Amino acid sequence: MVVAIVLIGIGTYLTRLSFIGAFGARRVPAWLERPLRYVAPAVLAAITLPEVLMPEGTMDIVPSSNPRVLAALVAVVVAIKVKNVGVVIVVGMAALWLFDAWLG
Amino acid sequence: MTTRERALTDGFKAMAPMLLALVPFGLVLGVTMAGTVVGAGWGFATSFIIFAGAAQLATVQLLNDGTALAVVVLTALVINIRHLMYSAALAPAFRDFPPRWRAALPYLLTDQTFAVSTLRFERATDPVYRRWFFFGTGVALWVPWQLSTLTGVVLGAQIPESLGLGFAIPLVFLVLLIPVVQTRPGLIAAIVGGGVAVLASGAPYGLGLVVGAVAGIAAGVVAESVGRR
């Protein structure tokens, strides 16, 4: 576990240093530039969607046993309106508890 | 005021609005980390060893799920590969800095310091101003990040699991997701990435996330080239 954390730390520093540290190459090669644009949406969704749709490891979109789906929908609407992480967390958690108490 | 003082002050000021989003994220991350097998101590250590919120979150989550270590490292580095882009964009400005600064400052390179600095560097061209400004934004981000995650791990030990605070993780990622799905290829990358990650969630060694991410990136690239025609 510690090894993984340290390796990620070193690797992250090296990606930050990459072009700044290099003397020769100054631009991201064209073949890399396009894929890099889609790292954020692809990775973020790949983390989020399973967490919402399958909290126990199997697909569950029934509101009574998995209130996360409805709470996430509420959170998305709020996130589009206000871009503050704090507000979305408070509203999303409140929605989760409400749906859980109401349907569960 | 010397250039150095002015640059530092400007750096702090430019970063201040970002803290509204950063501090709650740090708190939630800390609370979450304290509740995993990683624990409060090593969880907090990721804040200065990795210093990248999304990657820290994915790392502790995957370690908690018992994912193979190689996959944990791979996933976190895929999440952080966007720094290559930032590094390339800032390299011309950093070329005028002394070597020690060029080696040390990239540690502070994040989504926020990049966004604020590239904007400022368009009109501020003095290398001395530039390096102190970047340092100022970095410190203004680094210190609150350490303090908020530290507070989170301390509080986290006292918060019962039944509150379902684990849900705060996808909530944070949802907020980060909104601005990057505003283009059609971005949206397609997210739908494919998320969909494949769900379908592949049973994959061994916790590879589902990486498979989903790679599929999503490929889908985004294809969508972009199709859209151009």
pLDDT band at residue A58 using 50, 70 and 90 as cut-offs: confident
The 10s digit of each residue's pLDDT in B21-32 is 788 889 889 998
DSSP state, residue B97 = S
- Section B186-190 average pLDDT: 96
Q: Is residue B175 part of a domain?
A: no
Task: State the pTM of this model.
Answer: 0.82
The domain of B134 spans 3-164
Same domain, B149 and B192: no
The 10s digit of each residue's pLDDT in B72-122 is 999 899 889 889 888 988 988 998 899 999 999 999 999 889 988 988 998
Domain count, chain B: 2
The domain of A15 spans 2-103
ipTM metric = 0.88
The 10s digit of each residue's pLDDT in A30-57 is 787 888 889 889 988 998 999 899 988 8
Residues on chain A touching B114 (C-beta within 8 angstroms): none
The DSSP annotation for B78-122 comes to HHHTHHHHHHHHHHHHHTTS-HHHHHHGGGG--HHHHHHHHHHHT
The 10s digit of each residue's pLDDT in A61-81 is 888 889 999 999 999 999 999
Give the span between the Cα atoms of B227 and B229, in whole angstroms: 6
Asked if A18's CB is within 8 angstroms of B88's CB, the reply is yes
Final residue of a structural domain among B164, B194, B221:
B164
Q: Is residue B82 part of a domain?
A: yes
Point out the residue among A27, A50, A86 whose CB comes nearest to the CB of B21. A86
Same domain, B33 and B78: yes
Tell me the residues of chain A between 35 and 74 that have a Cβ less than 8 Å away from chain B.
35-55, 57, 59, 68, 71-72
Same domain, B57 and B26: yes
Q: Which residue out of A14, A34, A85 would a mutagenesis test of the B interface target, given it has the greatest number of B Cβ atoms within 10 Å?
A: A85
Same domain, B151 and B106: yes
Q: Write out the two tokens for B39.
A: 């624990």
Domain count, chain A: 1
Same domain, B77 and B190: no
